Amino acid sequence: MSPRRQDDSFEQLVEALLADEQYQGHPLREALALLWQHTREQLVRLERVTHISDRYQNVAQEQARSMAERYHRQLRQIEKITRISDRYQGMLQDLNNALKEASTHDALTGLPNRRLLTECMKQEDGRGGDYALAVIDADRFKRVNDDHGHETGDRVLVALARTLKEGLREGDMCGRWGGEEFLALLPGIDAAVAAGVAERLLAGVRRLRVAVDGVELPITVSIGLARRRDGEGYHETLLRADAALLEAKRAGRDRCYVAGDGA
């Protein structure tokens, strides 16, 4: 017999004993009635407590589920914010790199600009080492712009930049000094090697051709070369290289003129 059916039979037995008139006045009937009433009251209290407990457990479970959902929702939000933050940091880094590149490199040719070249020459002065400066100027460049347009002129400058960069030694630097003028910084070099680098640059440019309307446009440059003297800053070396460039132009262009110690 199941526990539920046993409980029902017991209740029925007690109810029958209390209702039987033959037990009226029996000394144990009153005790049984009091015990039965007390038991019923206890059952009612127990059911109420059980109901309250069940309801509390349900509320607690709902709260636990709600807290878990809020936790996971916040966690997903934090993960989303972290991804956005990482992407934002990456964008900022890219922007900073682009700004740094724009501040130190020429937009057209991609070579170091005047600002970066100047900083590097100052650093070489600070080290006190030997270096040479080569000022390189495109010959008759105004005629290129006038006859073929500025777009062709830009193409010539880009091609020149690539050719000059390829002709340098490892560790040398070539940048756009301004307009059609370039500047090469040749650190740790003696006069003979510097002159050899300049001749290699001239030969590389002579082989360069820029196609314009089906015609190949020949390009040449003139170079003024000066090696730093003891106690001399880059300003003085640059002035001597500029003077040497003028001599190369006067001598017929497409050549290198080397500044002497007295120049």
- The mean predicted confidence, pLDDT, of the chain is 84
Do 69 and 145 reside in the same domain of the chain? no
Do 175 and 112 contact (CB within 8 A), yes or no? Answer: yes
Would you call 138 helix, strand, or coil by DSSP?
Answer: strand
- In a shared domain, residues 193 and 98: no
Q: Are residues 148 and 62 in the same domain?
A: no
Q: Which residue has 């040449």 as its token pair?
A: 220
**Which of 103, 123, 154 is where one domain is finished?**
103
Q: Does position 77 have pLDDT exceeding 60, yes or no?
A: yes
Q: Is residue 109 part of a domain?
A: no
Question: Is 64 part of a structural domain of the chain?
Answer: yes
Lowest mean pLDDT among 17-21, 137-141, 159-163, 221-225: 17-21
* Position 211 in a domain: yes
Kindly list the distances between the CA atom of residue 44 and the CA atoms of 10, 36, 38, 47, in Å, as whole numbers in the listed order: 17, 12, 10, 5
Establish whether 180 is a catalytic residue.
yes
pTM above 0.85, yes or no: no
- The answer to whether residues 91 and 167 belong to one domain is no
Point out the catalytic residue in the list 11, 47, 69, 180.
Answer: 180
pLDDT in tens, 209-238: 999 888 899 999 999 999 999 989 999 999
pLDDT tens, position by position, 177-215: 999 999 999 999 999 999 999 999 999 999 999 998 888
Choose one of 103, 122, 143: the last residue of a domain: 103
Pair 231, 121 in one domain: yes
Domain boundary at 69, 103, 137, which?
103
Among 244, 250, 248, which Cα is nearest to 226's? 244
CB atoms within 10 A of CB 209: 12
158: containing domain: 114-258
58's tokens: 């349900």
Residues 2 and 77 occupy one common structural domain: yes
User: The domain spanning residue 183 has which CATH number?
Assistant: 3.30.70.270
Give the total number of structural domains in the chain. 2
